[in-house]
Amino acid sequence: MKSLSGIDAGTRPASLSALHLTLRAGERLLLEDFTHTFYPGEIWCVAGPNGAGKTTLMTTLAGLARPAGGHVEVDGERIDAWPGAALARRRALMPQHSHDAFGASVLDIVLLNRFPHLTGWGWERPADRAAAQVALDTLGLAALASRDVLSLSGGERQRVALAAALCQDAPLLLLDEPLAFLDWHHQIDCLTALVQWTHALPRTIVFSCHDLNLARRFATHALLLEGNGVAHAGAARDVLSPALASRAFGYPLVLIEQGGHEALVPALPGASR
């Protein structure tokens, strides 16, 4: 398999592996015996209908939830064997929801994610402030650095959460619906920034997303969960195809093409496909 970085998967060390992973929600089987390896330079979109298990998978891949079967490895080591601070330097998780219990500046909120890099008394160093500034600049948030996070709009707060995850400077980023609350312009800006972020080291990004068209455009690969134990993994355009997406979402989708653009859209009732 080749990624956008142009490096053969076989010659690179794996960032993240799922080995015989089985996920359940109560009695419901979400994912069964899933084995896959994620490599640097790859941007994976996790897609699937509501309740299919995207958040459950992201949380499990981050090592914050135990799978019903199988296990996860980061850099070839079982995730449950990693010391917490060392793991936090290797992988960052942006959860689906973030709650602000108290007011603080945007810069301070982003700086909180430098905790895995702090040493001694735990005071941040110039390098930590520089990393926070880079993350804010990357997401076009520099002008908001001194604003109280409680005064931000939902979309601005979402971008701050993404900046905080970038500031952690981990080579593996797990982002649960990073585009929620964002308008199209900001969705595209964020995805463009993530593509550049991925190629810089290179890093690996796994993000969940409901917009199949943005995923087809920006992700190198896709993991489509059907929510019944079945998952499809591969090149984004192959996996997010009309046939597989129609099956996963339980609604017929068609691919329309115009002037080099492609879009998956719900089929009109009664229209020929």
Q: Which residues in this chain contact ligand ATP in the complex, by CB under 6 A? A: 25-26, 30, 48, 50-56
Question: From the CB of 222, what's the least distance to ligand ATP, in Å?
Answer: 14
Q: Which of 134, 133, 186, 185 is nearest to 159 (CA)?
A: 186
DSSP bridge partners of 255 = 264
Query: Judged by CB, which is closer to ligand ATP: 97, or 185?
Result: 97
Q: In what order do the strands lie in the sheet with 16-25?
A: 28-38, 16-25, 69-74, 77-78
Query: Judged by CB, which is closer to ligand ATP: 11, or 50?
Result: 50
With H, G, I as helix, E, B as strand and everything else as coil, classify residue 130: helix
CB-based contact 86:172 (threshold 8 Å)? no
Query: Judged by CB, which is closer to ligand ATP: 105, or 228?
Result: 228
Say which residue the tokens 């001694």 belong to.
Answer: 120
Question: From the CB of 82, what's the least distance to ligand ATP, in Å?
Answer: 23
Query: Judged by CB, which is closer to ligand ATP: 99, or 185?
Result: 99
Question: From the CB of 208, what's the least distance to ligand ATP, in Å?
Answer: 7
Query: Judged by CB, which is closer to ligand ATP: 25, or 81?
Result: 25
Residue nearest to ligand ATP (CB): 25
CB-based contact 248:261 (threshold 8 Å)? no
CB-based contact 44:206 (threshold 8 Å)? yes
CB-based contact 69:20 (threshold 8 Å)? yes
Question: From the CB of 57, what's the least distance to ligand ATP, in Å?
Answer: 7
Query: Judged by CB, which is closer to ligand ATP: 25, or 127?
Result: 25
Structure tokens at 252: 């017929």
CA 164 to CA 175: how far, in whole Å? Answer: 11
CA 256 to CA 245: how far, in whole Å? Answer: 14
How crowded is residue 173: how many other Cβ atoms within 10 Å of its Cβ? 25
Question: From the CB of 47, what's the least distance to ligand ATP, in Å?
Answer: 9
CA 17 to CA 36: how far, in whole Å? Answer: 6
Query: Judged by CB, which is closer to ligand ATP: 29, or 195?
Result: 29
Query: Judged by CB, which is closer to ligand ATP: 39, or 207?
Result: 207
Question: From the CB of 194, what's the least distance to ligand ATP, in Å?
Answer: 19
Q: What one-character DSSP code corresponds to residue 125?
A: P
CA 141 to CA 134: how far, in whole Å? Answer: 10
